């Protein structure tokens, strides 16, 4: 008997998974599942991190990070012509420490020779101030805002929460996805963490303004650093989703609207 193949019609398409339409549906389903899993992981890690950080006292933080090595650039000798400015920043820090919301850490300043105007908080109570910032901040209120902003990071435990989220989220992704979806999951994780970092910056701005009003009774000129940064920034608005900091123009506008 001769075998004659029969036409299977729609059955053939169904058994192959629905053709291109079925494949696209599977990809969309997988993508949605990955996104949902990452969102649940992100919020879970955040809750656990905040709980753990709340159990770390400022004293314990000082013990853990007080002797943290910051690199040779932080051990640079303050130039003689910057001594007076440096002493004024130390006086500002001492004045701001009186604000009741400031975390009870043993704060100290570290000089950094970078010409970029900047300051940043280092776990344990160190606030690094760059040479560029000393050059640009002529008014006390302007410098006080920057220092108070860093004190806000310590008060909100941002440095510890940020480290905990990055470590926990990265580990969770490795456990759940292994190396099979590295490109997709790593990019998604980075965007989530960058969004969290921008929120931290906005909260620290809020803390700084409250601190200035309490200590100085005014906040005019507080956004001087943002004005300087805004004049040199050229990124389009959408590009800030890939940045750790919000757009300086937006930060200036927010300060103007909320602190008239």
Q: What is the pLDDT of residue 207?
A: 96
Q: What is the pLDDT of residue 148?
A: 97
Q: Confidence class of residue 2 from pLDDT cuts 50, 70 and 90?
A: low
Residue 15 has which token pair? 């058994």
Residue 93 pLDDT greater than 80, yes or no: yes
Q: What confidence tens digit (pLDDT) does each residue in 234-251 have? A: 677 667 666 788 888 889
Residue 154 pLDDT greater than 60, yes or no: yes
Residue 12 pLDDT greater than 50, yes or no: no
Q: Specify whether the CB–CB gap between 202 and 156 falls below 8 A.
A: no
Residue 221 has which token pair? 């000129």
The DSSP code for 55 is T
Buried b (16+ CB within 10 A) or exposed e, 55-80: eeebeebbeebeeeeeeeeeeeebee
Report, as an integer, the average pLDDT of 99-127. 91
DSSP states along 64-118: HHTT----GGGGPPPPGGGHHHHHHHHHHHHHHTTSTTS-----EEEEE--SS--
Instruction: Tell me what percent of the residues of the chain surpass a pLDDT of 70.
Output: 80
Cα–Cα separations (whole angstroms), residue 208 to 78, 125, 149, 171, 201: 26, 16, 5, 33, 11
Q: Specify whether the CB–CB gap between 117 and 130 falls below 8 A.
A: yes
Q: Closest by alpha carbon to 217, among 246, 259, 245? A: 259
Q: What is the pLDDT of residue 71?
A: 62
Residue 171, SS3 per DSSP: helix
Q: Specify whether the CB–CB gap between 114 and 186 falls below 8 A.
A: no
């Amino acid at each position: 008997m001769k075998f004659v193949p029969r036409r299977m019609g729609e059955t053939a398409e169904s058994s192959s998974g629905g053709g291109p339409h079925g494949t696209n549906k599977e990809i969309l389903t997988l993508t949605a599942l990955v996104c949902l899993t990452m969102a649940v992981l992100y919020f879970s890690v955040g809750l656990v991190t905040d709980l753990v950080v709340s159990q770390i006292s400022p004293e314990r933080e000082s013990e853990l990070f007080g002797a943290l090595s910051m690199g040779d650039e932080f051990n640079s000798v303050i130039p003689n012509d910057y001594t007076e400015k440096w002493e004024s920043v130390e006086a500002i820090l001492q004045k701001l420490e009186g604000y009741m919301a400031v975390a009870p850490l043993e704060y100290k300043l570290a000089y950094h020779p970078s010409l970029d105007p900047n300051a940043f908080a280092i776990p344990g109570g160190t606030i690094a101030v760059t040479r560029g910032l000393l050059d640009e901040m002529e008014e006390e209120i302007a410098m006080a805002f920057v220092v108070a902003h860093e004190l806000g990071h310590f008060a909100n435990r941002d440095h510890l929460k940020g480290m905990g989220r990055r470590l926990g989220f990265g580990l969770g992704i490795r456990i759940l996805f292994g190396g099979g979806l590295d490109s997709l999951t790593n990019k998604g994780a980075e965007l989530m963490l960058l969004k969290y970092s921008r929120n931290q910056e906005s909260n620290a701005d809020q803390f700084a303004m409250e601190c200035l009003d309490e200590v100085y009774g005014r906040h005019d000129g507080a956004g001087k650093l943002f004005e300087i940064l805004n004049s040199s920034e050229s990124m389009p608005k959408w590009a800030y989703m890939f940045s750790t900091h919000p757009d300086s123009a937006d930060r200036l506008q927010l300060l103007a609207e909320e602190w008239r």
